[in-house]
């Protein structure tokens, strides 16, 4: 169970960042931002290795008293940073690795979304762009409600018969993925 | 020596140290022995005995006893050494080798292990034998010792594992096990196998960690509770001694706390790692350990006094760092900062929290509670350890000093922070450095030193802005705002406040607070009334879009232009803005054409809405998210001939791309720009901007013509001005002034003469207002009528092509002038109306020859002949128009095309004459022709023109021709020439009844020499005696030339000779066969003298031979007038006359069929002439006009039959 998951663009601005507990969001932002130092260091150290042999998983970036920060970098230099509670000893390197891989897959799905502009923030906020949601699973939401600020959106159906409605573009699946990673004990 | 081990472990060279001790039974290990270092590995029995008796008496018993003791302790590692002395041996030289002591001992004790007995001969002598025996002994000793060692070590390890497996049993003690495994580690250390030793400690470490984790998961072990006792001492790691016996003993006594255990473990690991030359791993492990300990204490819920752990961590960090520094040189340390910087930063962090805890950071200094806490903490440190007591910079001393006073704390904290920042910066961890810097800034803020804090906050903010981290930006900005407020940097503070007020990451209350700060300041009565505080608008409100009305953003002078902008207010509360001002830059474009009304209305087709891209304010530009290049092609053409002068590419957003990155967050605007009060301002006063989108409308009346560019947008709230320094994309509107203009253009592609045609008049009023009574005065052209229709109406349009009105047009015509009174129209409108004009067809012709077209107009354009051959003849009519706005007349040329082309031809039949007129319709229209007339203009009474045309009405279709024929009849002698006028009425076939009667189309022409003078008759007769002509046989050709009239006027020329009242003229005849059917034998031409009298006849005989069989047409017979050489002409005989002559012959060819043979024959004449043309007089030939010769035998054919002996049949197939 991660306490903070961030996707950071090649240019080091956050594409996506979410953390539980939300009241400490700022601390995690700082933490993730600072961790980029180590990510950069590791990437430049890795630069010499052949591209195809390169390990995307960067391992533990740095530990703090309460958290462990792990890193992962895609071939396009998009970084994933995950903050895990230090007291959570159940999470071993392998679990972290697989979580990153799942995250990467989800991120790839986001990138494949034709409505998504690479470089945009991955968001499912009501202010963002919308599209007609064609999937039966997501059918019906006429308004997207957030249970808590920063939390996932849930769809509220206005009437059961409604076939399609607007969904915020991108990221619903990604958001759900992240949510599951934050809740589940892998 | 080499050490081979079980389980496939690689052999190693080890150094095994051993002690020799005297054998005592109590030294032998008992069951369950845990000590390995003091373990007796090999038992050696030394004897000097060389006497059998002595052996039997004492030594054997002694040996047996010894062996039994060993057996009782199940020790199998023993060795018997027999020292032989030569001196003693000599006495018993006769002793058999078999019965030697050695053999006996071997026999008695080493029944199978003969190698357990070694002989050492003369150990004190220096002989080769001695040397050899020593070597053998030592080798044996080593081997056996190692064997025993290996065996015992293996056993020990097994025992240890067994013990470890029992760990789930109650009563198992970690401390006990710890001691056992550490024993192993010691052994390895002794063997200098530090790696293996380290592994032992690591295993212990892992085991303990696992227990703690399990404990946390609820699976507690009893012994662990022991470690959970409250922390009472936090004196940090001790790494200076190889073994901290004090801690070891406490572990042995099972009195160690968790921190003690961890400390001891780490000190051992550290020692071993340093032995292994891995100091950086020490640093790394230290950090892990410290984090881990903190976590474990938390997990085990050990009660820790506040600050105690901080002390411990701080001391430990410094201890580790000092330990590492102690064993590395400066260069090594500098190149490995990456490993140690974590500890530095951790120490800094801990010191900071200690400082906060002990009230050393507050402005007032620590209070009594803080002091008590400090005393408690210092007590927990205990006394300084003796080994560091003499070191000036020991961690202990540092901490004690730092906690002793506010000043000392500040010094130490700053030292540490600066060192950390420096280290982070030096290894490129800028973000971490900034983060520590922010902590430092916080410290400074608490110390009320905002001037020192600002630089760190700015630095951090710049970093976050550059990488677009919204939350840190907001947070840092908030801190910065406070800092700036303290510093009294009003402008900066207001700017930061405006940024914060628009920041959606803040709560509504916070945003309102910052907004209120701005409003409060703005409402303050300023001591300096003219002073303005200029802030960038971006954070206050954003320009979303702009809408022009009229939408093409083009307005004429005096016109009203509306600009509606949408501003999106970022403020959380409605803000009352005194005024919103748009600075407009005015420029007069040099290229005046581009600013004309036509150009503007044509080229500005935008819908009038300009959208401004939302600034990426929340995620400001990083290097790669700069705006894309906006490149445009640029062509500059020369104004005179429109040729390309220069071309290039222009980047329109250079100012966006090339601006300095650093300055993006600071105030980059010189206030002078903002306060520029240009003459051109759009202003809107007293607007309340609600949060969100607001519509603001500017209204302006256009004054001077030119281009107006919207430059800046300012909103003023009290003395605070929010300025948008550049409006981008560029927004412009154009004001133009236009001269009144009149355009006249035909509605159709071309105007046709003779029928009414519509012409469109367009009056662009421009700046002129058409008043009542204004009219256009058209001076009438002679041949063009302006048809006044009752129903003409004029349309008035506004400049944007919206119809505003229509009015009837009053047209008054007089002889000279047609006056059109224009409807009343305001300036910058367009009046359009249509008029019908009629170009009168042809004026009298000036006698053209048959090929020339009869139409000759006053303004006839002499285009080249070729063109007139295909195109319609055009006529230009110039109309001069007086416009009310100008004293000059406008001259307008209208070009009319004549739809018809007419040719005429003279046809003869004997002496009867016919005139044929061909009318060709060149236009796209169909016409109806009617009432064709041909009249003789000379009015000769005896001449009659009898029409042979049956129909009076005849349609003529587009691109088709119609022929008319008249017969000429005369009673008396016909005139030599005839002037005729052909006229035909026409009207467009499609059109219904026309309102006016149209003038007929006329065509005048002259026919000369139409009276037939000669009749030529040719006949071919078969050879005598034959019925038919045969091919190849000569036939006779008889040409009969008959004069049909007496002397006429036309005959009077040079060829006419007079003798005795008789006139004769010279003619030349020529027989030409154009189709090579006939071969003319002999002379084909000749000159005859022809009497000029009626019925005078000349007969010519010739021989011709038919070349083909069949009905062959007769060869042509041509007659020419043979003009003799005339002295008057001889002098003029030059190239010109030849050209004349040539043109004559061209005429001759032009009338009928041009044929190759005639050309050939004429060519022979030419060549004959050319041989003597210079200087020599020569006769000339003149073709008789077509009307004067009638060939009565033209068209007749003669039957030629093939010759009998000609069997060749030529068949040509194509």
Task: Give residue B417's pLDDT band: very low, low, confident or very high (50, 70, 90).
Answer: very high
- Residue indicated by tokens 């500040």: B410
B338 contacts in chain A (CB < 8 Å): 41
**Whether residue B810 has pLDDT greater than 90:** no
Quote the mean pLDDT of chain B.
76
The confidence score (pLDDT) of residue B1066 equals 81
- Picking from B457, B468, B613 by the largest number of A CB atoms within 10 A of its own CB, the best residue to mutate is B468
- The token duo for B66 is 């010894």
Please report which helix (H) or strand (E) contains residue B3, including its range: strand B2-3
Beta bridge partners of B1090: B1065
The conformational region for residue B1126 under phi > 0 = left, psi -120 to 50 = alpha, else beta, is beta
Q: Which of A108, A104, A99, A86 is nearest to A31 (CA)?
A: A86
Contacts of B177 (CB under 8 A, 6+ apart): B160, B163, B164, B167
Q: Which of B499, B578, B575 is nearest to B532 (CA)?
A: B578
Instruction: Say if residues A4 and A32 touch (Cβ distance below 8 Å).
Output: yes
Residue B1160: count other Cβ atoms within 10 Å of its Cβ: 11
Distance, C-alpha B480 to centroid of its chain: 39
DSSP state of B825: B
Three-state DSSP class for residue A94: helix
- The burial class, CB within 10 Å (0-12 / 13-18 / 19+), for B546 is buried
Q: Do B288 and A64 touch (CB under 8 A)?
A: no
- Picking from B309, B472, B628 by the largest number of A CB atoms within 10 A of its own CB, the best residue to mutate is B472
* A and B: number of Cβ contacts within 8 A: 70
Instruction: Say if residues B166 and B172 touch (Cβ distance below 8 Å).
Output: yes
ipTM of the complex: 0.79
My answer on whether omega of the bond before B729 falls inside 30° of 0, hence cis, is yes
The confidence score (pLDDT) of residue B598 equals 58
Task: Give residue A156's pLDDT band: very low, low, confident or very high (50, 70, 90).
Answer: very low
Three-state DSSP class for residue B974: coil
The confidence score (pLDDT) of residue B617 equals 44
- The burial class, CB within 10 Å (0-12 / 13-18 / 19+), for B778 is buried
B475 contacts in chain A (CB < 8 Å): 26
Instruction: Say if residues B827 and B885 touch (Cβ distance below 8 Å).
Output: no
**Whether residue A180 has pLDDT greater than 60:** yes
**Whether residue B330 has pLDDT greater than 60:** yes
Report the distance separating Cα B1078 and Cα B627, nearest Å: 93
Mean pLDDT of B747-768: 83
Residues 132-171 in A contacting B (C-alpha not used; CB under 8 Å):
none
Give the least confident one: B110-124, B337-351, B612-626, B842-856. B842-856
- For the segment A49-59, what is each residue's pLDDT rounded down to a tens digit? 655 566 788 88
Instruction: Say if residues B919 and B900 touch (Cβ distance below 8 Å).
Output: yes
Q: Distance between terminal CA atoms of chain B? A: 119
Instruction: Say if residues B299 and B272 touch (Cβ distance below 8 Å).
Output: no
DSSP state of B59: I
Give the least confident one: B27-31, B167-171, B335-339, B567-571. B27-31
**Whether residue B704 has pLDDT greater than 70:** yes
Backbone angles phi, psi at B547, to 5 degrees: -135, 125
The confidence score (pLDDT) of residue B421 equals 92
Q: Do A89 and B216 touch (CB under 8 A)?
A: yes
Report the distance separating Cα A17 and Cα A171, nearest Å: 12
**Whether residue B34 has pLDDT greater than 80:** no
Concatenated DSSP letters of B307-328: THHHHHHHHHHHHHHHHHHHHS
Mean pLDDT of B241-261: 79
Report the distance separating Cα B334 and Cα B588, nearest Å: 66
Q: Which of B431, B468, B471 sits opposite A34 (nearest CB)?
A: B431
Distance from CA of A40 to the nearest CA of B (A): 9
Beta bridge partners of B543: B567
Report the distance separating Cα B502 and Cα B199, nearest Å: 59
CA distances from residue B787 to B780, B985, B998 in whole angstroms, order as listed = 11, 19, 12
- The token duo for A50 is 């052949």
Q: Which of A34, A41, A66 sits opposite B435 (nearest CB)?
A: A34
Report the distance separating Cα B918 and Cα B758, nearest Å: 29
Residue B737: count other Cβ atoms within 10 Å of its Cβ: 18
Three-state DSSP class for residue B412: helix
Q: SS3 string of B342-401?
A: HHHHHHHHHHHHHHHHCCCCCCCCCCHHHHHHHHHHHHHHCCCCHHHCCCCCCHHHHHHH
Give the least confident one: A84-98, B95-109, B444-458. B95-109
Report the distance separating Cα B1126 and Cα B1121, nearest Å: 14
Q: Do A33 and B469 touch (CB under 8 A)?
A: yes
Q: Do B468 and A13 touch (CB under 8 A)?
A: yes
Task: Give residue B1135's pLDDT band: very low, low, confident or very high (50, 70, 90).
Answer: very low
- Picking from A29, A92, A117 by the largest number of B CB atoms within 10 A of its own CB, the best residue to mutate is A29
- The token duo for B953 is 């009405």
Q: Which of B294, B432, B623 sits opposite A34 (nearest CB)?
A: B432
- Residue indicated by tokens 């405006």: B498
A121 contacts in chain B (CB < 8 Å): 619
The radius of gyration computed from the CA coordinates of chain B, to the nearest angstrom, equals 66
- The token duo for A100 is 């990153």
Task: Give residue A71's pLDDT band: very low, low, confident or very high (50, 70, 90).
Answer: very high
Count how many residues are written for chain B: 1214
Greatest mean pLDDT among A26-35, B1085-1094, B1202-1211 lies in: A26-35
Instruction: Say if residues A157 and A140 touch (Cβ distance below 8 Å).
Output: yes
> From the DSSP assignment, how many helices (H) and strands (E) are in chain A?
3, 9
Report the distance separating Cα B405 and Cα B416, nearest Å: 16
Beta bridge partners of B778: B818, B881
Instruction: Say if residues B1073 and B1118 touch (Cβ distance below 8 Å).
Output: no
Mean pLDDT of B932-961: 81
Q: Do B429 and A41 touch (CB under 8 A)?
A: yes
Q: Are strands B1197-1201 and B1029-1030 parallel, antiparallel or unpaired?
A: parallel
Beta bridge partners of B274: none
CA A75, A80, A84, A90 dihedral sign is: negative
Residue A36: count other Cβ atoms within 10 Å of its Cβ: 24
**Whether residue B88 has pLDDT greater than 70:** no
**Whether residue B128 has pLDDT greater than 90:** no
Mean pLDDT of A31-49: 84
B468 contacts in chain A (CB < 8 Å): 11-14
Contacts of B108 (CB under 8 A, 6+ apart): B60, B63
**Whether residue B94 has pLDDT greater than 90:** no
Residues 385-444 in B contacting A (C-alpha not used; CB under 8 Å):
424, 427-432, 435
**Whether residue B672 has pLDDT greater than 50:** no
- Residue indicated by tokens 């070009």: B895
A33 contacts in chain B (CB < 8 Å): 431, 435, 464, 467, 469, 472
Q: Distance between terminal CA atoms of chain A? A: 7
**Whether residue B1079 has pLDDT greater than 70:** yes
Contacts of B575 (CB under 8 A, 6+ apart): B515, B519, B540, B569, B688, B689, B717
- The token duo for B94 is 């006769």
Report the distance separating Cα B591 and Cα B823, nearest Å: 34
Q: Which of B456, B541, B463, B455 is nearest to B501 (CA)?
A: B541
**Per 3-state DSSP, what percentage of chain A is helix, strand, and coil (rounded to 5)?**
30, 30, 40
Instruction: Say if residues B895 and B875 touch (Cβ distance below 8 Å).
Output: yes
Q: pTM for this structure?
A: 0.63
Give the least confident one: B338-347, B759-768, B790-799, B1113-1122. B790-799
Task: Give residue A45's pLDDT band: very low, low, confident or very high (50, 70, 90).
Answer: confident
User: Which of residues B992 and B8 earns the better pLDDT score?
Assistant: B992
Q: Are strands B961-970 and B912-921 parallel, antiparallel or unpaired?
A: antiparallel
Mean pLDDT of B1176-1188: 73
Q: Which residue does chain B place closest to A30, by CA atoms?
A: B472
B619 contacts in chain A (CB < 8 Å): 13, 121
């Amino acid at each position: 169970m991660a306490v903070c998951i961030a996707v950071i663009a090649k240019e080091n601005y956050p594409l996506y960042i979410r953390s539980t507990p939300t009241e400490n969001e700022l601390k995690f932002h700082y933490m993730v931002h600072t961790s980029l130092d180590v990510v950069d260091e590791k990437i430049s150290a890795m630069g010499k290795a052949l591209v195809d042999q390169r390990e995307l998983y960067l391992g533990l970036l740095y530990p703090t008293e309460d958290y462990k920060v792990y890193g992962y970098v895609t071939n396009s230099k998009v970084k994933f940073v995950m903050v895990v509670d230090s007291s959570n000893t159940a999470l071993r390197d392998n679990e972290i690795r697989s979580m990153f891989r799942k995250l990467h897959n989800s991120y790839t799905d986001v990138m494949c979304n034709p409505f998504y502009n690479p470089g945009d923030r991955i968001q499912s906020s009501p202010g963002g762009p919308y599209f007609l949601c064609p999937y039966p699973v997501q059918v019906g939401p006429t308004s997207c409600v957030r249970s808590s600020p920063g939390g996932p959106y849930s769809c509220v159906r206005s009437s059961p018969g409604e076939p399609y409605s607007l969904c915020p573009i991108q990221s619903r699946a990604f958001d759900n993925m992240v949510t599951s990673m934050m809740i589940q004990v892998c | 020596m080499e050490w081979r081990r079980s389980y496939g472990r690689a052999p190693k060279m080890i150094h095994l140290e051993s002690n020799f001790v005297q054998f005592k039974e109590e030294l032998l290990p008992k069951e369950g022995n845990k000590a390995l270092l003091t373990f007796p590995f090999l038992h050696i029995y030394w004897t000097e005995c060389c006497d059998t008796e002595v052996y039997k008496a004492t030594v054997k018993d002694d040996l047996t006893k010894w062996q039994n003791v060993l057996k009782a302790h199940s020790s199998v590692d023993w060795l018997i050494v027999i020292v032989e002395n030569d001196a003693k041996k000599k006495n018993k030289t006769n002793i058999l080798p078999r019965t030697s002591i050695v053999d006996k001992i071997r026999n008695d004790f080493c029944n199978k292990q003969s190698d357990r007995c070694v002989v050492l001969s003369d150990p004190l002598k220096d002989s080769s034998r001695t040397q050899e025996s020593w070597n053998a002994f030592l080798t044996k000793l080593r081997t056996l010792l190692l064997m025993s060692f290996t065996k015992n070590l293996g056993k020990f390890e097994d025992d240890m594992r067994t013990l470890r497996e029992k760990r789930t049993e109650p009563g198992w003690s970690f401390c006990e096990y710890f001691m056992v495994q550490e024993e192993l580690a010691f052994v390895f250390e002794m063997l200098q196998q530090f790696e293996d030793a380290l592994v032992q400690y690591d295993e212990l470490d892992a085991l303990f960690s696992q227990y703690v984790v399990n404990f946390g998961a609820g699976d507690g072990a009893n012994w662990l509770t022991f470690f959970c006792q409250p922390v009472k001492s936090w004196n940090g790691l001790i790494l200076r001694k190889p073994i901290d016996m004090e801690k070891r003993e406490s572990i042995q006594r099972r009195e160690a706390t968790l921190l003690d255990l961890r400390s001891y473990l780490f000190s051992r690991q550290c020692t071993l790692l340093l032995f292994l030359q891995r100091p950086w791993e020490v640093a790394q492990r230290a950090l892990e350990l410290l984090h881990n300990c903190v976590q474990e204490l938390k997990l085990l819920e050990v009660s820790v006094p506040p600050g105690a752990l901080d002390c411990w961590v701080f001391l430990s960090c410094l201890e580790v760092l000092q330990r590492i520094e102690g064993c590395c040189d400066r260069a090594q340390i500098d190149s490995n900062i990456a490993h140690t910087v974590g500890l530095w930063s951790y120490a800094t962090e801990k010191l900071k929290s200690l400082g906060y805890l002990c009230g050393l950071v507050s402005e007032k200094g620590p209070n009594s509670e803080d002091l008590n806490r400090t005393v408690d903490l210092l007590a927990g440190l205990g006394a300084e350890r003796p080994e560091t007591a003499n070191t000036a910079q020991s961690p202990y001393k540092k901490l004690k000093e730092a906690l002793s006073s506010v000043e000392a704390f500040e010094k130490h904290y700053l030292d540490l922070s600066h060192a950390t920042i420096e280290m982070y910066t030096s290894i490129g961890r800028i973000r971490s450095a900034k983060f520590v810097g922010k902590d430092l800034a916080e410290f400074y803020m608490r110390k009320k030193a905002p001037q020192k804090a600002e630089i760190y906050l700015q630095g951090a903010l710049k970093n976050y802005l550059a990488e677009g981290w919204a939350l840190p930006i907001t947070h840092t900005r908030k801190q910065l705002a406070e800092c700036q407020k303290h510093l009294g940097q009003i402008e900066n503070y207001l700017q930061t406040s405006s940024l914060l007020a628009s920041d959606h990451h803040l709560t509504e209350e916070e945003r309102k607070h910052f907004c209120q700060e701005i409003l409060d300041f703005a409402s303050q009565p300023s001591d300096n009334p003219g002073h303005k505080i200029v802030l960038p608008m971006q954070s206050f409100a954003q320009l979303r879009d702009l809408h022009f009305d009229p939408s093409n953003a083009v307005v004429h002078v005096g016109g009203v232009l509306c600009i509606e902008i949408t501003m999106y207010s970022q403020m959380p509360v409605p803000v009352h803005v005194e005024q919103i001002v748009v600075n407009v830059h005015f420029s007069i474009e040099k290229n005046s054409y581009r600013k004309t009304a036509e150009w503007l209305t044509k080229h500005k087709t935008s819908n009038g809405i300009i959208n401004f891209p939302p600034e990426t304010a929340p995620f400001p530009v990083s290097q790669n998210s700069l705006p894309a290049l906006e490149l445009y092609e640029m062509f500059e053409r020369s104004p005179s001939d429109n040729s390309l002068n220069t071309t290039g590419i222009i980047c329109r957003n250079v100012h966006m791309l090339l601006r300095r990155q650093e300055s993006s967050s600071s105030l980059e605007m010189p206030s002078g720009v903002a306060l520029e009060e240009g003459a051109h301002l759009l202003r809107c006063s007293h607007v309340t901007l609600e949060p969100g989108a607001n519509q603001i409308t500017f209204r302006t009346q256009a004054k001077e013509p030119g281009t107006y560019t919207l430059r800046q947008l300012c909103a003023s709230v009290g003395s605070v001005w929010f300025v948008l320094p550049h409006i981008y994309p560029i927004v412009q509107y154009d004001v133009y002034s236009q001269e009144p203009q009149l355009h006249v253009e035909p509605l159709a592609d071309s105007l046709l003469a003779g029928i009414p045609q519509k012409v469109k008049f367009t009056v662009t009023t421009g700046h002129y207002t058409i008043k009542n009574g204004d009219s256009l005065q058209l001076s009438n052209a002679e041949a063009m009528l302006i048809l006044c229709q009752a129903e003409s109406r004029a349309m008035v349009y506004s400049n944007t092509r919206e119809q505003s009105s229509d009015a009837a047009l009053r047209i008054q015509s007089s002889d000279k002038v047609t006056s059109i009174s224009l409807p009343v129209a305001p300036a910058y409108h367009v009046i359009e109306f249509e008029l019908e004009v009629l170009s009168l067809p042809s004026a009298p012709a000036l006698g053209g020859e048959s090929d020339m077209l009869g139409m000759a107009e006053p303004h006839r354009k002499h285009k080249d002949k070729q063109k007139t051959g295909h195109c319609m003849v055009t006529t230009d009519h110039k109309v001069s128009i007086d416009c009310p706005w100008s004293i000059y007349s406008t001259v307008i040329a209208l070009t009319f095309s004549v739809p018809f082309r007419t040719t005429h031809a003279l046809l003869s039949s004997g002496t009867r004459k016919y005139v044929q007129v061909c009318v060709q319709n060149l236009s796209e229209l169909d016409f109806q022709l009617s009432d064709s007339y041909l009249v003789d203009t000379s009015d000769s009474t005896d001449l009659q023109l009898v029409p042979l045309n049956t129909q009076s009405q005849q349609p003529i279709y587009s691109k088709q021709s119609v022929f008319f024929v008249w017969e000429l009849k005369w009673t008396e002698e016909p005139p030599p020439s005839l002037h005729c006028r052909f006229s035909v009425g026409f009207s467009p076939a499609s059109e219904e009844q026309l309102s006016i009667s149209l003038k007929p189309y006329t065509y005048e022409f002259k026919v000369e020499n139409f009276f037939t003078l000669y009749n030529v008759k040719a006949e071919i007769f078969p050879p005598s005696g034959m019925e038919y002509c045969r091919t190849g046989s000569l036939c006779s050709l008889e040409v009969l030339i008959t004069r049909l009239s007496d002397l006429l006027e036309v005959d009077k020329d040079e060829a006419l000779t007079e003798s005795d009242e008789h006139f004769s003229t010279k003619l030349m005849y020529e027989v030409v066969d154009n189709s090579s059917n006939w071969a003319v034998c002999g002379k084909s031409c000749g000159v005859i003298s022809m009497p000029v009298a009626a019925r005078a006849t000349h007969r010519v005989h010739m021989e011709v031979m038919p070349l083909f069989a069949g009905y062959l047409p007769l060869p042509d017979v041509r007659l020419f007038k043979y003009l003799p050489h005339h002295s008057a002409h001889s002098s003029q005989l030059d190239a010109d006359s030849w050209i004349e002559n040539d043109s004559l012959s061209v005429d001759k060819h032009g009338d009928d069929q041009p044929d190759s043979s005639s050309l050939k024959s004429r060519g022979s004449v030419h060549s004959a002439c050319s041989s003597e043309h210079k200087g020599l007089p020569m006769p000339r030939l003149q073709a008789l006009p077509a009307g004067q010769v009638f060939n009565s035998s033209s068209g007749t054919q003669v039957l030629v039959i093939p010759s009998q002996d000609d069997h060749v049949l030529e068949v040509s197939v194509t």
